[in-house]
Structure 1
Amino acid sequence: MVIPINKITLKLGLWFFFVMLIVEVCLFFFLHTNMVKDRVEEELTALQARGNSHRDVLEDVYHEDTLRHIAVMEQNADTEVIITDQEKNIIISSSKLDKGEQAILSKNINTVPRNGKVLEQEWRSEEYISTVSPYTAGEQQGYVFMFKSTSQVQDLISRLTRHFLVAGVLTAALLLLTILFLTKSVTTPLIRMKKATEKLSKGDFSVDLPDMGEDELGELSRSITVLARDLKHLKEERSEFLSSISHELRTPLTYIKGYADVARRKNIEGSERDRYLDIIYEESEKLTDMVKDLFDLAKMDQNMFVIHREKVQLCAYLRGICEKMRPAFKEKGIELEADCQKEIHVMIDPLRFEQVLLNLLDNAIKYSGSSTKVTLSVKREKGEVVIEIKDEGRGIPEEHLPFIFERFYRVDKSRSRDLGGTGLGLSIAKELVEANKGRMEVKSEAGKGSTFLIWIEEVAG
Structure 2
Amino acid sequence: MKKLSIKLGVLFFLIIFGLMTFMFFFLHMEITESRVEEELQSLQARGNSHRAVLEKHLDQETIDHVVLMESESTTDVVILNRAGEIMGSSSPSETLRKYLKVPNSNIPREGQVVEANWEEEPYISTVSPIHINGQVSGYVFMFENTESVHSLMKGLNEHFLIAGCVSVIFTLIIIIFLTKGMIKPLISMKEVTYQLSKGNFAVSLPKTSDDELGDLAKSIEVFANELSYLKQQRSEFLASISHELRTPLTYIKGYTDIVKKRELSEEDRKKYLNIISEETNRLSVLIKELFDLAQMDQNSFDIEKERIYLNHFMDRLEQKLAPAFQDKERNILFECEENLFLMADPLRLEQILINLLDNARKYSPDGSNIKLKAWKYKNSIHITIEDNGKGIPEKDIPYIFNRFYRVDKSRTRSLGGAGLGLAIVQELVHAHEGEISVTSTEGKGTIFELIFKGE
Range class of TM-score, shorter chain: 0.7 to 0.9
Matched ranges for 1:145-184 at <5 A: 145-184=141-180
1:106 offset after TM fit, Å?
4.7
Partner of 1:415: 411
The verdict on how the C-alpha distance between 1:157 and 1:454 changes in structure 2, with shifts beyond 3 A counting, is: closer
Any idea what SS the aligned residue of 1:398 has?
coil
Partner of 1:205: 201
Which letter does structure 2 place at the counterpart of 1:397?
A: P
Partner of 2:96: 104
Q: Is the 8 A contact 1:311 1:345 kept in 2?
A: no
Q: Deviations over 1:335-362 (max 9, x none)?
A: 3131426425232333222222322333
Q: Is the 8 A contact 1:88 1:105 kept in 2?
A: no
Partner of 1:279: 275
- Number of aligned residue pairs: 449
1:292 offset after TM fit, Å?
0.6
Matched ranges for 1:236-251 at <5 A: 236-251=232-247
Is 1:60 matched with 2:56?
yes
Partner of 1:438: 434
Q: Which has the larger displacement, 447-456 or 139-148? A: 139-148
Cα distance between partner residues in 1 of 2:313 and 2:124:
106
Q: Is the 8 A contact 1:345 1:458 kept in 2?
A: no
Which letter does structure 2 place at the counterpart of 1:455?
A: I
Q: Which has the larger displacement, 291-300 or 74-83? A: 74-83
The verdict on how the C-alpha distance between 1:254 and 1:148 changes in structure 2, with shifts beyond 3 A counting, is: same
After superposition, the CA RMSD in angstroms is 3.2
The verdict on how the C-alpha distance between 1:327 and 1:175 changes in structure 2, with shifts beyond 3 A counting, is: same
Matched ranges for 1:115-134 at <5 A: 115=108, 116-133=111-128
Q: Is the 8 A contact 1:388 1:452 kept in 2?
A: yes
1:119 offset after TM fit, Å?
4.7
Q: Is the 8 A contact 2:406 2:419 kept in 1?
A: yes
Q: Which has the larger displacement, 291-300 or 250-259? A: 250-259
Runs of 5+ unmatched residues, structure 2 = none
Which one of the candidate residues 371, 375, 378 is aligned to 2:370? 375
Which letter does structure 2 place at the counterpart of 1:340?
A: E
Which letter does structure 2 place at the counterpart of 1:419?
A: L
Which one of the candidate residues 261, 273, 288 is aligned to 1:265? 261
Q: Percent identity?
A: 46
Partner of 1:359: 355
Q: Deviations over 1:196-222 (max 9, x none)?
A: 444444433335446656654444444
Is 1:235 matched with 2:231?
yes
Any idea what SS the aligned residue of 2:350 has?
helix
Q: Is the 8 A contact 2:128 2:141 kept in 1?
A: yes
The verdict on how the C-alpha distance between 1:56 and 1:352 changes in structure 2, with shifts beyond 3 A counting, is: closer
Which letter does structure 2 place at the counterpart of 1:38?
A: S
Q: Is the 8 A contact 2:336 2:374 kept in 1?
A: no
Cα distance between partner residues in 2 of 1:335 and 1:277:
29
Cα distance between partner residues in 1 of 2:308 and 2:55:
113
Which letter does structure 2 place at the counterpart of 1:373?
A: S
Cα distance between partner residues in 2 of 1:151 and 1:6:
52
1:47 offset after TM fit, Å?
2.2
Q: Which has the larger displacement, 138-147 or 416-425? A: 138-147
TM-score (structure 2 length as normaliser): 0.85
Matched ranges for 1:341-352 at <5 A: 342-347=337-342, 348-352=344-348
Q: Is the 8 A contact 1:314 1:345 kept in 2?
A: yes
Q: Deviations over 1:428-452 (max 9, x none)?
A: 1222233344332233333333333
Partner of 1:41: 37
Any idea what SS the aligned residue of 1:146 has?
strand
Cα distance between partner residues in 1 of 2:316 and 2:288:
25
Partner of 2:76: 80
Cα distance between partner residues in 2 of 1:228 and 1:351:
38
Any idea what SS the aligned residue of 1:340 has?
strand
The verdict on how the C-alpha distance between 1:106 and 1:274 changes in structure 2, with shifts beyond 3 A counting, is: closer
Cα distance between partner residues in 2 of 1:208 and 1:61:
94
1:110 offset after TM fit, Å?
4.3
TM-score (structure 1 length as normaliser): 0.84
Partner of 1:328: 324
1:233 offset after TM fit, Å?
2.1
Partner of 2:289: 293
Q: Is the 8 A contact 1:47 1:147 kept in 2?
A: yes
Which letter does structure 2 place at the counterpart of 1:109?
A: K
